[in-house]
Amino acid sequence: MGVHFAKAALAAGHAVVATGRRPDAVSKAVGTSDDLLVVKLDVTSLADAEAAAKAAVDRFDRIDVLVNNAANFQAGYFEELTPEQVERQLSTSLIGPMNVARAVLPFMRKQRSGHIISISSSAGLTGFEFCTAYSASKFGLEGWMEALQAEVAPFNIATTIVNPGFFRTELLTEESTQYAETSIADYAERTAAQQAFWRSQNGKQAGDPAKLAKALITIASAEPPPRRFIAGADSIATAEQKIADLQAQIDAYRELSTSLAIGDDLT
């Protein structure tokens, strides 16, 4: 997905800093351009993030848009995931974007403008079976982004959460997905079925990342940009179901919920 974002931004005439843990692979995927700078960046390293941000400003004088896109998928039932797997998920999908934003925000504050776009997921809208660690990272990402918006708005810095559904990216490849190794008999049958499902989805997702990249160019150019962009018909369906479920839960317990002020009779 990041490759498509970089190529779309270059095609639209923007300067791009493309980052990755393996700069050679990034250069090979994105190509060459006078408006392109490729920089090494492991998002789990704050030092890497600070060096990348400095390199961007040294080359292009400013940073207008940050797209947080790094991701992996630690897949499995919660009890079967190791604490280390959960930490890896949070480190990449939550702490990683925080590291990069922490490095970029001083420059955006100084120029009194900027836009931080973080790629979440439909799994950041609702929790899915077998996705406990992944959803935890995305729910955390969204809470952080929503709170961050209020903090940076006075500096004319905007934030956007993007919730893609199933897009044909490398997220479900063996390189990006790690399945829980712990085997608990009570989960065994469902684990086998879930692994078969997720492996079968790789390369068959309906969403086109090139079209999403073009949509992000539109979002980044909007004034004001949206606080949230639900990407894909499947993600819209997930969001609408979440809204309906929340409303149903509110309505079912409205009387009890509104009786909790001090002095109300709870008997």
pLDDT at 180: 83
Reported pTM: 0.91
pLDDT at 267: 57
Asked if 239 and 165 touch (Cβ cutoff 8 Å), the reply is no
Alpha-carbon dihedral sign for residues 247, 248, 253, 254: positive
Asked if 184 and 80 touch (Cβ cutoff 8 Å), the reply is yes
pLDDT averaged per 10 residues, the chain (length 267) = 88 95 91 94 96 97 95 91 95 97 98 97 92 95 98 98 79 68 88 84 73 92 95 93 97 96 72
pLDDT at 177: 78
Per-residue pLDDT reduced to its tens digit, 7-44:
999 999 999 999 999 999 999 998 899 999 999 999 99
- Can you give the residue ranges of every domain in the chain? 2-257
The verdict on whether 134 is a catalytic residue reads yes
- CATH T-level topology, domain 2-257: Rossmann fold (3.40.50)
* End-to-end CA separation in angstroms for the chain: 55
pLDDT at 18: 95
Tokens of 121: 């997921």
pLDDT at 49: 97
Beta carbons within 8 Å of 129's beta carbon, 6+ residues apart: 77, 190, 194
User: Of the listed 134, 179, 187, 253, which one is catalytic?
Assistant: 134
pLDDT at 206: 64
pLDDT at 2: 81
For the chain, helix, strand, coil in percent to 5 are: 55, 15, 30
pLDDT at 266: 56
